[in-house]
Amino acid sequence: MTTPTSSPADNASNPLLDFSGFPRFADIRPEHVAPAIRQLLDENRALIERLTADPSVPTWEAFVEPMNEAGERLGRAWGVVGHLHSVKDVPEWREAYNALLPEVSGFFAEVGQNLALFHKYKALHDGAEYATLTPTRQLILDHEVRDFRLSGAELPDELKPRFKEIQEEQSQLAAKFSENLLDATNAHEELITDESELAGIPEDALAMARAAAEAEGKPGWRFTLHMPSYLPVMQYADNRALRERMYRAYATRASEQGKADWDNGPLIGRILALRAEESRMLGYANFAEVSLVPKMADTPAQVLAFLRELAAKAKPFAERDLAELKSFAKAELWLDPLEPWDVAYASEKLRQSRYDYSDQEVKQYFPEPKVLDGLFGVIRALYGVDILPDEAPTWDPDTRFFRIEKNGDLVGHFYLDLHARPTKRGGAWMDSARSRHRSAHGTETPVAYLVCNFPSAVGGKPATFTHDDVLTLFHECGHGLHHLLTKVEDLAVSGIHGVEWDAVELPSQFMENFCWEWDVLQGMTAHVDTGEPLPRALYDKMIAAKNFQSGMQTVRQLEFSMFDLRLHAELDASADKTSGPVPVERVMALLDEVRREVAVLIPPPWHRFPHSFSHIFAGGYAAGYYSYKWAEVLSADAFEAFEEAGAGKGSLLDAETGARFWREILAVGGSRPAIESFKAFRGREPRVDALLRHNGMVDA
């Protein structure tokens, strides 16, 4: 059966097809999705048919540029749909997104397998014009040939339909995984009507819980599994039974221990089986090998060795952290044994005891307006750009819009959506709304989405952020700057595009470091009640506590990374050759094995961490979660250049070093290998020393 399509005339007023400016979020409706996306798919297919039928030798101008333009229009429109599915996941948008997802996935699978199209790119890659192209365009063609091979272009014709089916099903499973997790997160609530059960929970968290209950027409205080509600309970509630209930609900989300329709276990098994089948079809031993082809790292063995080397250095510090926590919890809190739902609570008490301050105390100095002013001030000092409020349609009244200028010239725009909502998927992320590129109309400037899930303002006061929230905001803004400050005008490697996945976290993790600098914090803090800046004495306590439990935090990240890598290197390789789902029991058994090797905190056997591991099952990090630690080596080393430049000056906001970082890292995007960009900035190969020093994992 053929899919009904709409003629361009029918779509003349469709806001999803208006590429003249910013997305018309005020006008876009779910019913616009199918006709708009199908028209763009038809246009792309017609263009491909025309270009592949042309017997002339392909050229960049006559072949690549039309392909880029058509693909950019489809990518922008579908990107808006995907974005709304993430930030406004109401039934109508979920249905519209899922209805078109198989068609879009199928189209890209078709393109990747189109042998005639592959031959056109290869002819240009192997032809005389290649030598006359810029190094950037040569790299793009290198990547195109590589990606066609990874997309199954060279598979026998009889295998291509199956390969396409695999891609389509994986897209659907990833979307379903994310939806199950959001639904399971939204489904749980703790409604407390006796105020005595809420001892220890900070006033702002209680006010938010009271407002949440009132919004539902319920008495008392309503706590949910969304992080702004969940974390204060785990960190501060004296009520151990409440902490245990919340912990169990959070730890078993989207598993067989809840609603069957939301169980991600079968999806995990199916996703792994499909990835294994895809890998075998492409001639690789496992999906980890496939994942690493476009990354900096060469082999799974190399990555595993890197993770184990870090684990060997970090685990002694983690064991010391845990021993101290257990001893304190037993002696001071009468918590023996220390249960998993006690860890955040006991850690906060230990931090207060040892350093004489709490996260809650620090939070009062980070009201949202002041934090944003401080963030924008850091960016201005480093790169000489101005961030100014601007106007454009948005998807929620809470969302803001800004433009970036350099000496009065427009650089780019970004949307800022900071607060948690029930219809918004969890976590924080940056995504592209439009990439910098040169088109027939001139240079199109980039536009980014910056999305977080922070608490909202309550009771007439501005929202206040924990220092961890501030770190998250700076992190996502680092991704945004990578996208927005690019100077590359070839779409495929502009901004974050084409950057190796294990290097893409460099600019984001780099930005986090400034959140620990006194001259930065002075300008971005003001007590929410008094307006007083962060006291130097409190800052000194924060610095003293900066590496509090850094060993435990490091091995936790290494646990996730090693689990992800081995999952896709070992279980993939032994998956059922008929593509039957990998039993979730084997997934859990592998996780237990990894924990025995690197972890110091072992969760209860009923814990279902994989069922909410969206990064690898719904977020593109499959066999790539190690990228956070890999890139952290690069980012810590890069930040050391600012430490060196600022030594003795009282500030690390060195404009000359910032200009070099922009020129050699941010501006070039994916137009050259990341290691070359790093060496151009640093003048040498990366070293792990700065990372270990920043994390306090060096012996005094």
Closest among 344, 323, 346 to 334, alpha carbons compared: 346
What is the rounded distance in angstroms from the CA atom of residue 328 to the CA atom of residue 484? Answer: 47
Cis peptide before 389 (omega within 30 of 0): no
Three-state DSSP class for residue 230: helix
Helix, strand, or coil (residue 417): strand
Q: How far is CA 317 from CA 168, 309, 509, in A?
A: 44, 14, 22
Question: Which one-letter DSSP state was computed for residue 367?
Answer: B
Between the CA of residue 235 and those of 86, 348, 351, 410, what are the distances in Å?
A: 28, 6, 11, 44
- Kindly give the residue spans of alpha helices, DSSP state H, lying in 567-617: 584-598, 614-617
SS3 259: coil
Give the number of other CB atoms < 10 A from CB of residue 574.
11
End-to-end CA distance of the chain: 71
Tokens for 71, please give them.
Answer: 């693909």
Which CA distances in Å does 566 have to 73, 286, 381, 572?
Answer: 38, 10, 43, 9
Contact yes or no for 671/680 (Cβ under 8 A): no
Tell me the three-class secondary structure of 437-496, residue by residue.
Answer: EEECCEEECCEEEEEEEECCCECCECCECCHHHHHHHHHHHHHHHHHHCCCCCCHHHCCC
Largest Cα–Cα separation, the chain: 81
| 179 vs 617: CA distance, rounded Å | 12
User: How many Cα atoms within 13 Å fall on the side-chain side of residue 183?
Assistant: 18
Tokens of 443: 């240079």
Q: Residue 376 is inside which H or E element, if any?
A: helix 368-383
Element (H, E) at 190: strand 189-192
Judging by beta carbons within 10 Å of its beta carbon (0-12, 13-18, 19+), is residue 222 exposed, middle or buried?
Answer: buried
Copy the structure tokens of residue 562: 């090693």
**Other CB atoms closer than 10 Å to residue 530's CB: what's the count?**
9
Pairing label, strands 437-439, 442-444? antiparallel
Matching residue, tokens 């792309």: 44
Give the DSSP letter of residue 516.
G
Secondary structure element (H or E) that encloses residue 121, with its range: helix 115-126
* Marked catalytic residue, from 72, 179, 476, 500: 476
Question: What's the rounded Cα separation, in Å, for the pair 295 and 293?
Answer: 6
- C-beta separation of 312 from 551 below 8 A: no
Own/partner pairs, 53-60, CB within 8 angstroms, 24+ separation: 57/123, 57/124, 57/127, 58/120, 58/121, 58/123, 58/124, 58/127, 59/124, 59/129, 60/124, 60/129, 60/133, 60/137
What does the block give as tokens for 618?
A: 């719904």
Per the annotation, the verdict on 489 as an active-site residue is: no
- Would you please indicate which residues are annotated as catalytic (active-site) residues? 476
